[in-house]
Amino acid sequence: MEGPTLWGLAIAFAILFTVFRALELFRSRDRRLPIFRKGFLTDGAYWLFTPFVTKAITRICVAGVAIPFAFIVYGKFDRELILQGFGPASRLPLWVQAVGILAVGDFIGYWMHRAFHGRRLWRFHAVHHSSVDLDWLSAVRVHPVNDAVMRVAGTLPVLALGFAPVAVAGIVPVLTLMAILVHANLDWDWGPFRAVIASPRFHRWHHTDEEQARDKNFAGLLPLWDILFGTYYMPKEERPSRFGTMTPVPTGLIGQVVFPFRRQASAVRSQSTAGERPQAAALHHQA
Ligand SMILES: [Zn+2]
Ligand SMILES: [Zn+2]
């Protein structure tokens, strides 16, 4: 598979920057962000760091589980064999498998995301929540541990069920674009489909620091999981306007990458036994 190139990333940045800037102009003046909004340089650095460094780490981690898995199922490691899946699931039509992979992957993603809002993993995920001026570019601000753990957790069950990963190969760019779009500084919510597919309004509520919306809207793609498990938040009239976290995440990229490893041991140990479940409204502030 072709990896990212500097040119490709520069062109993608220029296109997305222009498109989202233009779309933002349809918002009222007070809801637009300045061109060089807070964290612009940090997120610009992530624009290179995430595809070149984080994704490389994630690929190694995924290989770390896919290779032993291949030896167990096929008796050898053959990338092509893994991509074709095995058993009854692999014989389903490709589009059915694609739906299956997306649903299973998103379900696992929902629970993993909730786990990242828990006490143990929060500091890795707080990096993603540290954007105070939230827009499309904030999507790439993800800690490598956050990315690798999410991807490994999402891939393993899909492989174990026998689905052919090749079924979703074509949609990967669409999913990447979706992840960028849901952070955009827009109020879009897909109208009648607002509860079906994640939208900017849906995910921006997830990023708000407003009390009533904290630890809501965890789904990456299907709000169904939030509806089923009681974390759906989409008030009719209001729009989220304040973003960020109380956790003192540094503002630069290197500081953010190191941040979760510099544990404030005493502060954490003195906390009560808050579990992994993020129902406590103030979990963000405990980590
Ligand atoms: Zn989150
Ligand atoms: Zn986000």
Query: How confident is the model over 105-137, as pLDDT tens digits?
Result: 999 999 999 999 999 999 999 999 999 999 999
Tokens of 207: 């990023």
Half-sphere exposure of 283 (CA within 13 A, CB side): 25
169-187, pLDDT tens digit by residue? 889 999 999 999 999 999 9
Residue 68 above 70 pLDDT?
Answer: yes
| pTM, rounded to two decimals | 0.89
Q: What is the pLDDT of residue 265?
A: 45
Dist CA 178 CA 154 (whole Å): 17
- Residue 84 CA, ligand 2 centroid: distance in Å: 31
Task: Identify the nearest ligand to the CA of 117 by its number.
Answer: 1
- Residue 186 CA, ligand 2 centroid: distance in Å: 14
Q: What is the pLDDT of residue 278?
A: 39
Q: Higher pLDDT residue, 197 or 81?
A: 197
Residue 258 above 60 pLDDT?
Answer: yes
- Residue 185 CA, ligand 1 centroid: distance in Å: 17
Dist CA 227 CA 242 (whole Å): 23
Which neighbouring-strand residues pair with 198? Answer: none
- Residue 31 CA, ligand 2 centroid: distance in Å: 19
